[in-house]
Amino acid sequence: MESFQGVITDIIFSNETNGYTVARIKSDDYVEVITGIIPGISAGENIEVTGDWSIHEIYGRQFVVKQYSVVMPTTETGIVTFLSSGVISGIGEKMATRIVERFGTNTLEIIQHNPEKLLEVQGIGAKKIGPIVESFRENLGVKNIIISLHKFGISPRICIKIYRKFGANSLDTITQNPYCLIDSIVGIGFKMADDIASMCGIEKNSPFRLEQGVLHVLKNAMNDGHMFLPENILLDEATRILGVEYEVIESTLYDLALDRKAIVEKYGDFNIVYLNRCYHAEVDVCSNLIELISTPVKPLGIDLEKELENFQEDNDILLAENQKNAVRAAFNNGVMVLTGGPGTGKTTTINTIIELLKKNREKVVLAAPTGRAAKRMTETTGEEAKTIHRLLEMAFDADDRVIFIKNDEDPIDADVIIVDEASMIDIFLMDNLLKAMKSKTRLIIVGDADQLPSVGAGNVLGDIISSDMIEIIRLNEIFRQAQESDIVLNAHRINKGKDIVANKEGTDFFFINRTGDSGILSEVKSLVSGRLNRYYNLDSLKDIQVLAPMRKGDVGVTNLNSELQEILNPRKNEWNELKLTKRTFRVGDKVMQIKNNYSKEWENERGTNSGEGVYNGDIGYIYHIDKSSKEMYIVFDEFKIYKYSFDELDEIEHCFCTTIHKSQGSEFPAIIIPISWGPPKLMNRNLIYTAVTRAKNLVVIVGEKKYLDYMISNNTVNDRYTNLGYRLRKYRTNNMLELDY
């Protein structure tokens, strides 16, 4: 192997996940290309590399790096280049030149050990010294940590977080107890910490490992939607994962309970175990709901019955009795739930409630769990609706954890809050929403409890409804216009576990029987590529949405996106496409934003209008790819153009096909649902019901009837370990809430 030193002139490619880098390095007046695992290097840095030369069949001569180290420059020219490269805060080329002219080759020694001497340089005052020194020392510390921790598989981005948390003690801290990273650093879980511990020689019976292993099982359960686990199930799973004796795990659980890191409660004849945060979220939601229920509501300033009659006359509608009851309940209760399936008049009822609340001079705020759901709510009500996260003014703390500005000390300014698509709200979001509500603010919860439960933990809407502690209005009458739709008919049949009615003349609901994944895939491609367009005058990209139950397999989301991209947006030229490791983006591709980004800026094509915010579930189209600046432009909502750097593309995924889960809260003119074999956990009634209710005008299911029949009969999706309903019922039984903190 050979070794040489040089200055990095530019980074051609860098993968932050695994550290693989391609860069140019200048050494002895020659510029060479280096490749390999070289995490954390930046242009302007002086490094020493060890490795071997190779000849790439396309890119030619390259140096494959096996080891590298950062070397501080020793020449005046090298020091100026290093200081002005951008790695040191507050120093540009002119300032770097002045510093080196004053201190020469001793410059870096001065900055590190005698920084007060920098006051001798024109343009540097006392306030500027601190940031320069801090940036210099952090740069050196981070580089050393990146090099030291790379063998553990920790990415440079995570290394920076570790250094900022633990500083110069980072390496010692990790080698002594890598499990401390789990609660301190976003992005490190039990498996990575356990792998590091194994490499560091930490024993399997280490108390650090045992405690985090038990908590890991509870966190996995939370990620699967559970609020708690029965004690025996927790102990069995932790024993299996950790590979130690059952009695050792049992003892560890009691230690966690004493430290209040886990909460053990008696439930009937057995114990149940919560993560601390799950327990307090559930208890707090229960407590705050009870407070809202118990607080007297604002007296009426209108004749409600008369205004109800006037509203119907003015809008030429006739409300069903349950719809009128919903309006009355909205005025008479601190909390009420409005639930019902498609075609039962939820939208009309909400609009009536809003109109009459405004007549009563109430300040009404509308919200929904996702951006797509909030937009639908805005469209159907004519009033502004926000995501719950935006309503709560979501932000991030120094450790990249979500926080909310609105809370019990700075509550939401509203008399009434109406929340739609409530089946999607998890326990933590509901907890934060309730904490940010004034005690006299009324809450109207709207949702379809038969749709998929929240992705996050809990079954909030279902538990509230089952408790019978809160006023529930169920809309169950299907209106005449909705009765004409087989989409509505079949949604209700599916919900009752009945077989679908399809393929009638003039219907809007079809089932196409195809066997095997290849047959299903071929049929879906045929439908999207023109058949539906010709018969229904649909735009394949904008009007037709393919919804798949799962991601994997030939008829899963990943493969369908690849197959449909070739049909709907085939390759035109190399400038219009960007190839990444596993994905190819093209101008014209249909894509979805998969993270809320409230600060993402947009402007229209002419630059005459602008704003900010793009939300999880928003669907857009790639407008332009600029490889020279490594930027992609995506248009959402017909005219909002957002700029993404290439390293932000983890926020974007293709959306020719998406999961049924991701479609929740959205509505599409036409949907195609491929149905093949899948795990029973996914193939359930709630999933197919949710998919069907996403369609406005047309549903086409393609697949094997036996799997569709299985989904309709499998009604087990809501089997989650949750206790909110029990806590609310206990209050009703005992007439007091027993909170055990």
Binding residue per annotation — 345?
Answer: yes
Q: What is the Cα–Cα distance from 552 to 549, expressed in whole angstroms?
A: 9
Q: Where does 15-57 show beta strands of DSSP type E?
A: 20-27, 30-37, 46-56
pTM of the model: 0.79
CA dihedral angle for residue 220, residue 225, residue 227, residue 232, rounded to 10 degrees: -50
Handedness of CA 383, 452, 434, 726 (dihedral sign): positive
Binding residue per annotation — 187?
Answer: no
**What one-character-per-residue DSSP string does 416-477 give?**
EEEE-SGGG--HHHHHHHHHTS-TT-EEEEEE-TTS---SSS--HHHHHHHH--SEEEEE-P
SS3 content of the chain, % helix, strand, coil (to 5): 45, 25, 35
**What one-character-per-residue DSSP string does 466-516 give?**
HH--SEEEEE-PPPHHHHT-HHHHHHHHHHTTPPP----TT-SEEEEE--H
Q: How far apart are the first and last CA of the chain?
A: 63
Q: Which residues pair with 11 in a beta bridge?
A: 23
pLDDT of residue 148: 74
Task: Encode 177-205 in three state secondary structure.
Answer: CCCHHHHHCCCCCHHHHHHHHHHCCCCCC
Helices marked H in 21-122: 76-83, 93-103, 107-113
Q: Which residues pair with 339 in a beta bridge?
A: 447, 474
User: What pLDDT, in 10s, does the model give residues 672-681?
Assistant: 999 999 888 8
**Three-state DSSP class for residue 649:** helix
pLDDT of residue 545: 96
Binding residue per annotation — 496?
Answer: no
Share of the chain above pLDDT 90, in %: 53
- Set out the domains of the chain in order of their start, with CATH numbers: 2-149 (2.40.50.140), 163-269 (1.10.10), 281-478 (3.40.50.300), 498-713 (3.40.50.300)
Q: What angle do CA 161, 394, 640 make, to 5 degrees?
A: 100
Binding residue per annotation — 347?
Answer: yes
User: What pLDDT, in 10s, does the model give residues 684-734?
Assistant: 999 999 999 999 999 999 999 999 999 999 987 668 999 999 999 887 666
pLDDT of residue 126: 83
Binding residue per annotation — 556?
Answer: no
Q: Are 458 and 422 in contact (CB under 8 A)?
A: no
Which residues of the chain, if any, have pLDDT below 70?
16-18, 85-87, 399-400, 480-482, 581, 717-718, 732-741
> Residue 373 is which amino acid?
A
Q: What is the Cα–Cα distance from 508 to 696, expressed in whole angstroms?
A: 9
pLDDT of residue 141: 75
Give, in order, the Cα–Cα distances in Å from 264 to each of 115, 275, 431, 738: 55, 9, 21, 15
Cβ neighbours of 120 (radius 10 Å): 11
